[in-house]
Structures are given as C-alpha cells and as structure tokens.
Amino acid sequence: MIGIQEISYTYPHTVQEALHHISLFVPKGQCVMVTGPSGAGKTTLCLAAAGILYHEYGGKKEGRVSVEEKDVAGYASLAELAKKIGIVFDDPEAQMVFTTVEEEILSALEHRGLDAAVIEERLDAIMKATYLEELRNRSPHNLSGGQKQRVALAATLALGNEILILDEPTSELDERATQRITGILKTLKKQGKTILFVEHKYQHFRDMIDMLVVLENGRISAAGDPDTVMRDERIHRMVIPDFTGIRDVDTESGTVARRQEPPVISVHDLSYLYGDIPALNDISLEIHSGEFVAIVGENGSGKTTLVRHFNNLLVPTSGDVVIRGMNTRHCSVAQLARYVGLVFQNPDHMFFADTVKEEVAFGLRNLKRTGEEKIIDESLDNVGLLHTKHLYPRWLSRGERQRLAIACVIAMQPEIIILDEPTTGLDGNEARLVMRILKDLQKKGHTLIIITHNREMARSCADRIILMEKGTVVSDTSEGVP
Amino acid sequence: MAEILAYVYKDGFFHLLHPVTKIVFIVVVSLMCIISTNPVFLFALVFVILLIAYLGKLYTEVIEQSRLIIMMSIVFIIITVITMPNGIIIGYLIPIGFPVLGGTVPVTWGAIEIGVILSLRFMILIYAFQIFIISTKPRDLVHTLEKMRMPIDYVLMFIIALRFIPTLQIEGIRIHEAQLARGYNPGPGFMGRIRSVAPIIVPLVSNALLRANVLGLTIDMRGYRTITRTHVREMELVFSDYAVMGSLVCIACGFFVLLVLQIM
C-alpha cells in the first residue's frame, strides 16, 4: 500500500539530512509503528509517506514513494492523495478548522461523495466510537489537549480512507483515552485498513502492530517483527522507558526529616470555577520542602488547574493557597516566580531569544540575580545542554527543548519546581534522562511537583502520589509516610 | 474570557437567520454608515446595532470588546483633531502659555465633528461585523459564500483568517503566562505592552507560522478544497429571512430618499 524506496530528504535552508536512504514497505491491512528519539525524522517520514513532501515541500529530495502502487508524483495534487490517505498531524490544535466538534467532523464527511443519510449515520458512528458525543457542540479551541487529539482523529477517520498515517495520536492522552484509541485502531485494522503511525507508547499498541520501525538520526536503525526488534537491549531502553534505579538516589530520609518543618505549599479548601464549570472542589493539602510529588489523573481532572494556583496564574474562587507563608492572593506572579518555577507542557510557549544562553538569562535578569554567566553554564550543564549554548532554541529537538525549559527554570533557583507533563513526546532514554535530572534537583534540596498521566513513571520516581478525579483529590499515598 | 470573533453557541434570533440575510444586513449597514455624514443618524445606528445584539442574546460578547473599540475611537478623534483642523477654534491641545509649542495644535469644531463621524462609522462596522461572525457557524458561511460563486480558496482563506483570531488570542495568553512565570514583569499600561513585544510576539508568530502550515495541509488532506460536496443540514431561507431582508431593503430605500431630498 505504501512503498518508500531509498528516500533521502533535506529541508530547505538546512544542510543535515532529515531522512537518509529510508526504505520501508507497508503492506495492505498491516499496522506499522515508527518510534525513536525526538528529532529522528519520524514526522518527516509521515510527510514523505503521505506524499506531502513531494507535493508541498521544497528542499532536496531523492528516492521514490508510492501509494497503492502508484508513484506519488503520478497523483495530480494532495487532494487526489487525500482520497487514499487520511493523516493526523502531531499538533491537534492546528487541525481544528471549524468552531464546533460536530462541524469539524461533518465538514470532513461532506467531501466524500456520500449520500446525506450515510453522512449522518457515519457522523453518529464516529462521534460514538471516539467518545465525543458529549462534546458535540463544544468549541474545539476550548477542549483539553487530549480531547483535541480525539477530534482530529475523528475528523480523519470520518474520511473513511483505506490508509491512515498518524503522528503521535495519543501523546496528550491519559491511560484510559489511549486505550480507547488503541481499541479504535484495532477495529480499523480488523476492517483491513493500513496503518502507519508514530508513537512512544509501545506497550499500549504491542498487540496490534505487525512491524516496529526504529528511526534514529534520519536512519532506520531497526525494523521488523516487534519481538525480534525489542530483543536488542539498547532499542528496548529507547522504546520502553525504564525508570528503575532513579529512586535510589537516597532522598527518602531527607524528605521525611523535612516533613517536620512547616509546609512550603499549603492549600486550604481550594475551589475554582471556569465560568460556571467547577474545575476544583474543596481541595486541601500540604507539600513539604524536598518532597517529590506526582499529581496524576485523567485529562480534565484538574491537575493543571491546581498547580496554576501555586504561582498565582489562577486566583482561587474560594479557599487559599499559601506559599512559604505568603497567601498567593496578596502576591504577584512575578514575586512568586522567586519561589515557584513552572515548566509548561509546551516548552515552545516560552522561547523567544536568539540563543539558548539568552533564553536562560531572561529569567535571571527578571529576578536580578548576579553571577549570570556561571549560573547559566551550571544550569545548562545540569540538563546536558552546555554544548548548545550558542544555538537558536527552536533548532533543538523536542527532548532538548524540554530540557532547556527545565534549565530556564532551575537557573532562577526557585525552591519549588513544577513540571506539567515533562516527558510528553519523549522516547524512553529522553524520559529517563529528564526524570534523572529532576531527581538530582530533589537531591539538591528542591521541592519537585510533576503532573503526569503516566502512573508507572509516578510510582517509579515520586515519593508521593496525589490522584485527582473531577477536581478533587481522591487519594494521597503519602498519608502512610511517617 | 470571551474569545474575539469566535462563534458563540446560542439560540438568539440573529443565530436563526440565514447567512445571506446577515450578509444583506452587513451590506446595508455598511453602505448607510459610509455614505451618511450625520452624527445623529450614525449614533442612532450604533444604538440599533447594540439593540440587535441585546435581542439576539449577544450583548455580553459585544460589550466585552467595547473597551478596545472606545479606546480606538478616542485615538481617531485625537488624530483627526491634530491632522485636520477645520472651522471654529475652541481651544488648543497644548495651552498657549506653554513655551515654544504652546498654541500650535488648535482644537476645532470641524475636526471634532469629523473625528466623531469616523469613530461612529468605525464602531458601526466593527459591531455589525462582530454580531454577524459570532452568530454564524463557519460551515454555514462557507456553504453560503460557495453558493454565491466565491472561489473556494478565497472562502477558506477568509474562514482561516477568522479562525486564527481566537487561536492567537488564547496562544498569546498562554505565552504571556509562561513569561510571567519566569519572573517577567513588563509593567502596566502602554509601555508595559511595548516592553512585552519580544517575549510574547516572537513565540506567538513562530508558533502561528507552524500552525498555519499544518492547518493548510489539514485543509488539503481533508479534501475541503474539492468542488464536489454533499450538502447536509444546510440552512434554508425562511419567512423571517425574507421579512428581515425586505425590511432592510425598505430601510435602505428610505435612507437614499432622505439623502436625495437632502433631509439627511
């Protein structure tokens, strides 16, 4: 169905090849998973397989791509290829064209030459299959990242194409939502669809994939039967994050000792409403200096809303948040930035400087810290990015940008560091590296709070797990700790 | 927070009108406000549009953007006073007693009148366009413009331009928050906005360009640019549409008669 022969590609205005002599054949009805580190060329491979590189991109191209045994050059335009291939890109927000979820899917169906009755029938089926019925009249722009991913997938599934190309379709989804997507893809495979997808969640998809392809530096480093490929220990570590041993840095005793001290964060009866919608409901908790806390829960459970109160990005509707004895109601975000550092889920929201060094210096200058040069070097060294000091931040890979975001925050030396989904989109090695960095920061005395869907990671790395559901704390495993 | 120019899901009477009726409304209102130089008539037109917004349950959304519109109107009046002195002098922007520059910028009745007219026109166009856009589903608008034989690429360009406004607004807020969390304090007011340009505009534009690329590819790969389309759940012109369009035509004719008779 998709044939890629000796494809090499270099983006315009760059010298390094994004893909180097890639050959891959995806037979009809098979499911191929592509994985690898960020910056390996996975998205570029998706664009090549869909014929988009040929029809829409400049740059240097070599090799041949065929879809249903016809060279992509033989298709008059992307519109022709779109009759064969459905593609979901990795940025769900950018794929929202219309203003309600239903419109988004209906508009995709209207261009397939189907009868009106069939369109209505398929619309309902797709909404049901992707669990979007309740969101039918919601604006896609106001949905969570995970919900947007489901809408983007639903709009593509609505096209009913025989070939599906999915670029990280579950990166922002929680466990349950990922299982739902896995279920949908299994059904599509049973229906004979051909699926090529990029993912990091190998274990969720193991049952359905026929071939595993590992891409590194634009080259295929391993490809074939998943079990055979996974026998290679190095590949195994890259594909499945291994967090064992991270907890062994002996921070437990320190944490316990500091629990006797006053808490650095106290939340009292906190409730928050987004308009009329309750997001947090009567939350009370305390976090002590030196703790490593993981806040886990499904999409929309209120995790991010809770931590946004810690640096006053949100003001409580009722209740109070006290940071180091200061009620956040009486502090500005800039004042709290001295004590609380927040690494957002999307690091690209912060980068604007011309060099990595300047990016890190920005926070330091805001806080008027002295010894800038030394702190920048130390911070970049801590996250293994000292060698990128003079590079443009947006040239870095996703994993490197995530580490740069951490460096920007640790340079400001806040006592409390909060990270929202710090391992999203990272491969096993990168995820382990990030968690190792965080554990080292805890060792140096910082209080760490991470938000994650990944309970396995939380169990392996955090000393305390707070489980949230529908805006409330349903369990807090530290309660048993003396 | 209300999103600027994003469709609002409500059941007001303006939502129920066919996009063609709303386009006729926009055309009639625009022509009247551009042609008329009568401040009383223009003021009445602003009032009528706000009344339509109120009756159409869109008042909150319209009023939320009023601060910006009023600020822009004041800027228009000031610029007009400075650049188009005309008629009786009623004072000076810089008092005569002020050294060197005193008395150099006269404030005239004529300039104020022109400034007020320009501001009212601006308000009418913005309010009318706003209630049209926030009460019309983009999909219905695409269908209507297609039926009016507008090339699909232009229709999609128009829709994407509209769709990007709330996206940029939300993205701008996220970026602003990310920079605040890094201790950034640009300060309040106009100077604060100037200072916040680099840390906010640079990531905003970079991210928007990437998004625009993906959005363009999405439009192609979902086949939105193909001509063949099955028309589903299309709005039909009903009695209320004909009644509103008839009324608008009568109002437009009345306006031109008054204009010809030089009553207005």
Average pLDDT, chain A: 89
- Residues B38, B98, single domain; the answer is yes
Element of type H or E holding A204: helix A202-205
Determine whether the interchain pair B167/A98 forms a contact, defined as Cβ–Cβ distance below 8 Å: no
Identity at B232, one-letter amino acid code: V
Record the tokens describing residue A270, joined without a space. Answer: 């906190």
Interface of B with A in 95-134 (CB under 8 A): none
Angstrom distance (rounded) from CA B115 to CA B70: 13
Of A70, A90, A88, residue with least CA distance to A80: A70
> pLDDT-derived band of residue B1, with 50, 70 and 90 as boundaries?
low
Angstrom distance (rounded) from CA A173 to CA A152: 13
> pLDDT-derived band of residue B2, with 50, 70 and 90 as boundaries?
low
Is the CA virtual torsion B76, B80, B81, B86 positive or negative? negative
- Residues B75, B186, single domain; the answer is no
Which of A25-34, A132-141, A291-300, B124-133 shows the lowest mean pLDDT across its residues?
Answer: A132-141
Query: How close does chain B come to A120, measured CA to CA in Å?
Result: 8
Element of type H or E holding B52: helix B39-55
pLDDT of residue A480: 40
Interface of A with B in 66-95 (CB under 8 A): 77-79, 81-83, 85-87, 89, 91, 93-95
**If you average pLDDT over residues A136-158, what whole number do you get?**
86
End-to-end CA distance of chain B: 40
The residues that bridge with A67 in the sheet, in sequence order, are A2, A70
Determine whether the interchain pair B222/A139 forms a contact, defined as Cβ–Cβ distance below 8 Å: no
> pLDDT-derived band of residue A214, with 50, 70 and 90 as boundaries?
very high
Determine whether the interchain pair A97/B215 forms a contact, defined as Cβ–Cβ distance below 8 Å: yes
Of A230, A226, A228, residue with least CA distance to A238: A230
Angstrom distance (rounded) from CA A299 to CA A147: 8
The answer on pLDDT for A478 being more than 80 is: no
Determine whether the interchain pair A94/B6 forms a contact, defined as Cβ–Cβ distance below 8 Å: no
Angstrom distance (rounded) from CA B124 to CA A95: 33
**Strand A416-420 vs strand A340-343: parallel, antiparallel, or unpaired?**
parallel
Angstrom distance (rounded) from CA A287 to CA A462: 13
The residues that bridge with A87 in the sheet, in sequence order, are A165
Give the CA dihedral A349, A350, A353, A355, nearest 10 degrees: -100
Find out whether A461 and A438 touch, Cβ atoms under 8 Å: yes
Identity at B4, one-letter amino acid code: I
Element of type H or E holding B68: helix B66-83
Instruction: Name the range with the highest mean pLDDT among A146-155, B22-31, B102-111.
Output: B22-31
A139 touches chain B (CB under 8 A): yes
Residues with Cβ < 8 Å from A469, sequence gap 6 or more?
A: A297, A298, A301
Is the CA virtual torsion A350, A355, A356, A361 positive or negative? negative
- Residues B144, B259, single domain; the answer is no
Find out whether A240 and A63 touch, Cβ atoms under 8 Å: no
> Where does A312-421 have alpha helices with state H?
333-336, 356-366, 372-382, 398-411
Query: How close does chain A come to B28, measured CA to CA in Å?
Result: 27
Q: Tens digit of pLDDT for each residue in A12-38? A: 888 889 999 999 999 999 999 999 988
**If you average pLDDT over residues A82-89, what whole number do you get?**
93
B226 touches chain A (CB under 8 A): yes
Of A113, A156, A342, which is closest to B228 when you measure between CB atoms? Answer: A113
A111 touches chain B (CB under 8 A): yes
The answer on pLDDT for A355 being more than 80 is: yes
- Residues B10, B89, single domain; the answer is yes
Angstrom distance (rounded) from CA B110 to CA A277: 51
- Residues B196, B170, single domain; the answer is yes
Interface of A with B in 265-324 (CB under 8 A): 311, 313
Determine whether the interchain pair B230/A78 forms a contact, defined as Cβ–Cβ distance below 8 Å: no
pTM of the model: 0.83
Determine whether the interchain pair B199/A352 forms a contact, defined as Cβ–Cβ distance below 8 Å: yes
Determine whether the interchain pair B183/A366 forms a contact, defined as Cβ–Cβ distance below 8 Å: yes
pLDDT of residue A165: 96
Which of A215-219, B56-60, B93-97 shows the lowest mean pLDDT across its residues?
Answer: B93-97
The answer on pLDDT for B4 being more than 80 is: no
- Interface mutation target, options B147, B175, B182, chain A, most CBs of A under 10 Å: B182
A157 interaction partners in chain B (CB closer than 8 Å): none
- CA Rg value for chain A: 24
B232 interaction partners in chain A (CB closer than 8 Å): 106, 109-110, 116, 119-120
The Cβ of residue B88 has, within 10 Å, a number of other Cβ atoms equal to: 9
Phi, psi angles (nearest 5°) of residue A367: -95, 0
Phi, psi angles (nearest 5°) of residue A461: -115, -30
> pLDDT-derived band of residue A229, with 50, 70 and 90 as boundaries?
very high
Interface of B with A in 39-78 (CB under 8 A): none
Angstrom distance (rounded) from CA A149 to CA A170: 7
Determine whether the interchain pair A52/B217 forms a contact, defined as Cβ–Cβ distance below 8 Å: yes
B186 touches chain A (CB under 8 A): no
- Residues B122, B65, single domain; the answer is yes
Interface of A with B in 314-343 (CB under 8 A): 332-334, 337-338, 340-342
- Residues B189, B120, single domain; the answer is no
Angstrom distance (rounded) from CA A183 to CA A185: 6
> pLDDT-derived band of residue A294, with 50, 70 and 90 as boundaries?
very high
pLDDT > 90 fraction of chain B, expressed in percent and rounded: 41
A292 vs A138: which has the higher pLDDT: A292
B223 interaction partners in chain A (CB closer than 8 Å): 79, 82-83, 108, 111-112, 159
Any idea what DSSP says for residue A417?
A: E
Phi/psi region, residue A470 (left: phi>0; alpha: psi -120 to 50; beta: rest), is left
- CA Rg value for chain B: 23
Angstrom distance (rounded) from CA B144 to CA B133: 13
**Strand A194-198 vs strand A163-167: parallel, antiparallel, or unpaired?**
parallel
Q: In degrees, to the nearest 5, what angle opens at C-alpha A140 toward C-alphas B155 and A95? A: 60
Angstrom distance (rounded) from CA A280 to CA A305: 7
B213 interaction partners in chain A (CB closer than 8 Å): 94
Find out whether A207 and A237 touch, Cβ atoms under 8 Å: no
Of B184, B219, B226, which is closest to A97 when you measure between CB atoms? Answer: B219
A93 interaction partners in chain B (CB closer than 8 Å): 167, 211
Of B182, B206, B220, which is closest to A408 when you measure between CB atoms? Answer: B182
Angstrom distance (rounded) from CA B132 to CA A174: 38
Q: Which residue of B has its CA nearest to A43?
A: B214
The residues that bridge with B185 in the sheet, in sequence order, are none
Q: Tens digit of pLDDT for each residue in A305-354? A: 999 999 999 999 999 999 999 999 999 998 899 999 999 988 888 899 99
- Residues B89, B19, single domain; the answer is yes
The crossing angle, in degrees rounded to 10, of helices A145-157 and A101-109 is 20
- Residues B177, B220, single domain; the answer is yes
Of A451, A398, A407, residue with least CA distance to A425: A398
Phi, psi angles (nearest 5°) of residue A401: -65, -35
Domain housing B142? 138-233
Phi, psi angles (nearest 5°) of residue A304: -65, -40
pLDDT of residue A255: 53
Record the tokens describing residue A306, joined without a space. Answer: 């809770």
Number of domains in chain B: 2
A146 touches chain B (CB under 8 A): no
Find out whether B198 and A340 touch, Cβ atoms under 8 Å: no
Q: Tens digit of pLDDT for each residue in B196-235? A: 778 888 899 888 888 888 998 998 898 887 767 787 888 8
Query: How close does chain B come to A124, measured CA to CA in Å?
Result: 14
Element of type H or E holding B109: helix B109-134
- Residues B181, B147, single domain; the answer is yes
Q: Which residue of A has its CA nearest to B160?
A: A97
- Interface mutation target, options A102, A124, A349, A354, chain B, most CBs of B under 10 Å: A349
Of A82, A93, A351, which is closest to B220 when you measure between CB atoms? Answer: A82
Residues with Cβ < 8 Å from B203, sequence gap 6 or more?
A: A348, A349, A350, A351, A352, B175
- Residues B1, B97, single domain; the answer is yes
Of A82, A95, A103, which is closest to B214 when you measure between CB atoms? Answer: A95
A313 interaction partners in chain B (CB closer than 8 Å): 177, 180-181
Of B200, B203, B232, which is closest to A106 when you measure between CB atoms? Answer: B232
Find out whether B12 and B56 touch, Cβ atoms under 8 Å: yes
Q: Tens digit of pLDDT for each residue in B92-131? A: 888 888 887 777 888 899 999 999 999 999 999 999 999 9
- Residues B92, B12, single domain; the answer is yes
The crossing angle, in degrees rounded to 10, of helices A428-443 and A398-411 is 10
Find out whether A218 and A20 touch, Cβ atoms under 8 Å: yes
The crossing angle, in degrees rounded to 10, of helices A116-129 and A101-109 is 130
Identity at A275, one-letter amino acid code: G
Q: Which residue of B has its CA nearest to A410?
A: B182
Determine whether the interchain pair B181/A311 forms a contact, defined as Cβ–Cβ distance below 8 Å: yes
- Interface mutation target, options A52, A93, A99, chain B, most CBs of B under 10 Å: A99
Give the CA dihedral A355, A357, A363, A369, nearest 10 degrees: -150
The Cβ of residue B149 has, within 10 Å, a number of other Cβ atoms equal to: 6
Record the tokens describing residue B254, joined without a space. Answer: 């009345």
The answer on pLDDT for A481 being more than 50 is: no
